[in-house]
Amino acid sequence: MKLTLGFSPCPNDTFIFDALIHHKIDTEGLEFDVIFDDVETLNQKAFAAELDITKLSYHAYGYALKDYVLLNAGSALGFGVGPLLICKKEQDLSNPNLKIGIPGKFTTANFLLSLAYPHLKNKEEIVFSAIEQKLLNDEIDLGLIIHENRFTYQDKGLIKVKDLGAYWEEKTQCAIPLGGIVIKRDLPQEIKQKVNKLIRKSVEFAFANPASALPFIKTHAQEMEESVVYQHINLYVNKYSLDLGNEGKKAIEMLFNQAFDQNIIPKTNQSLFLEQ
């Protein structure tokens, strides 16, 4: 059986999926047709239910619950992993007219920005890798950065305004749910369970053989410096990537409850998590 699988070219995703798609583990009869896209493009594909399995932002998951259910393996959650709000020069954050470059309307980063600064609504959607340059060109006042840009913005003379991950942690005492792996609800339960098991095995293989995926990772990584690649992986791939567990599920439920309360995402009766 062949399934379509979408994930980003970022090091955490290529690290997680390398063993799965390159048959370094037994895929038990499943084949995967891989689609690489930035996370906001994957979010949009999820809204259109284009792929069988896909990475998406947790914010976006709120709009895709009808078609998808969350797997327990493959997620990006953690402490100290949140998006950063940065600038080129000091800004008055009380000014509602500030123009902010965001990596996508439905990213979890934008969700956290909306929680922290609900009055800042003048937003421009920009591919995450181009936000720093837009700031340097004075095309935007603030930039919301994710992924490996966390490790490079200071080298370009840019300044941190707010760590939105730290804001979330202080507010909730929970890990930050950034992105998850979802699968079509209408697939057979045995296939959903098998895919979940295989993704976990792929993560386990990656942890046991961290250098194995490096050629694949570097083929797709925006920042080619090996130190940056491993910083990225160490930040986003952890115990929650193996299995959400009770802590991970609690954090995701917290995010959804906050989003429901503030009408950031529509309320639903759909189950969030794959049945065990």
**CB-based contacts of 99: which residues, under 8 Å, 6+ apart?**
122, 123, 124, 140, 141, 142
Q: Is 56 annotated as a binding residue?
A: yes
**Residue 109 is labelled as binding a ligand:** yes
How many Cβ atoms are within 10 Å of 37's Cβ, its own excluded? Answer: 17
Under the banding of pLDDT at 50, 70 and 90, the label for residue 71 is very high
Determine whether the annotation assigns residue 108 to a binding site: yes
Consult the annotation and say whether 57 binds a ligand: yes
Q: What is the pTM of this model?
A: 0.86
What ranges do the domains of the chain cover? 2-77+177-261, 84-172
| Domain 2-77+177-261 coded CATH 3.40.190.10 | yes
Active site residues: 147
Burial class for 79, CB neighbours closer than 10 Å (0-12, 13-18, 19+): middle
Could you give the 3-state DSSP secondary structure of residue 224?
Answer: coil
Q: Residues 167-214: pLDDT tens digits?
A: 999 999 999 998 999 999 999 999 999 999 999 999 999 999 999 999
Kindly tell me if the per-residue pLDDT of 224 is higher than 80: no
Give, for 36, the enclosing helix (H) or strand (E).
strand 31-36
In CATH, the number for domain 84-172 is 3.40.190.10
Q: Is the dihedral of CA 175, 276, 184, 217 positive or negative?
A: positive
Separation in Å, CA 131 to CA 33, 145, 165: 30, 7, 18
Per residue in 2-46, pLDDT (tens digit) is 999 999 998 999 999 999 999 999 999 999 999 999 888 999 999
